[in-house]
């Protein structure tokens, strides 16, 4: 794995993308953002991130779930953290069965998100 971790943040809310991007950039991450699943697939191919933070609800209520298997197929080594504003146990269970590595509910607590991301980075380095 590269020394500078790469992060892809996928959320239809540009403010969340920018908030998370700023937080992680000052911590040494290379961060790119996407506002939907189509854009995420383009960025995924170009950037090959270590971690993908993927919102479940974007243009549709389950767009993130629709793109999760595509992301895992395109870049199996990437860890995918699902984020959701609604604690929907069915969607969370579905995401886990589809290969999501974790999930976090909004509003995002950046310190918790950072801890989770660092744990996933550590697991990538030891695998």
Q: Give the tens place of pLDDT for each residue, 65-112.
A: 999 999 999 999 999 999 998 878 888 899 999 999 999 999 999 999
Q: How many domains does the chain have?
A: 1
pLDDT in tens, 26-60: 999 999 999 999 999 999 999 999 999 999 999 99
* Residue 18 maps to a domain: yes
- 């209520």: which residue's tokens? 61
Distance CA 23, CA 61 (A): 26
Burial class (CB in 10 A: 0-12, 13-18, 19+), 68: buried
* Residue 81 maps to a domain: yes
Q: Could you tell me the CA-to-CA distances from 60 to 22, 50, 94, 123 in Å, in that order?
A: 26, 25, 16, 31
* Residue 127 maps to a domain: no
Q: What is the pTM of this model?
A: 0.94
The pLDDT of residue 1 is 47
pLDDT of 2 > 70? The answer is no
CATH number of the domain within which 21 lies? 3.40.50.2300
* Residue 65 maps to a domain: yes
Range of the domain at 108: 6-121
* Residue 41 maps to a domain: yes
* Residue 21 maps to a domain: yes
DSSP 55: E
């Amino acid at each position: 794995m590269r020394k500078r971790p790469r992060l892809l943040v996928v959320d239809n809310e540009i403010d969340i993308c920018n908030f998370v991007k700023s937080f992680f950039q000052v911590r040494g991450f290379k961060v790119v953002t996407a506002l939907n699943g189509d854009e995420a697939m383009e960025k995924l191919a170009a950037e090959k991130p270590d971690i993908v933070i993927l919102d479940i609800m974007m243009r549709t209520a389950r767009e993130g779930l629709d793109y999760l298997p595509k992301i895992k197929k395109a870049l199996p080594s990437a860890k995918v953290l699902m984020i959701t504003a609604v604690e929907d146990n069915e969607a969370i269970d579905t995401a886990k069965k589809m290969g999501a590595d974790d999930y976090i509910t909004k509003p995002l607590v950046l310190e918790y998100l950072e801890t989770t991301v660092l744990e996933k980075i550590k697991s990538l380095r030891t695998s």
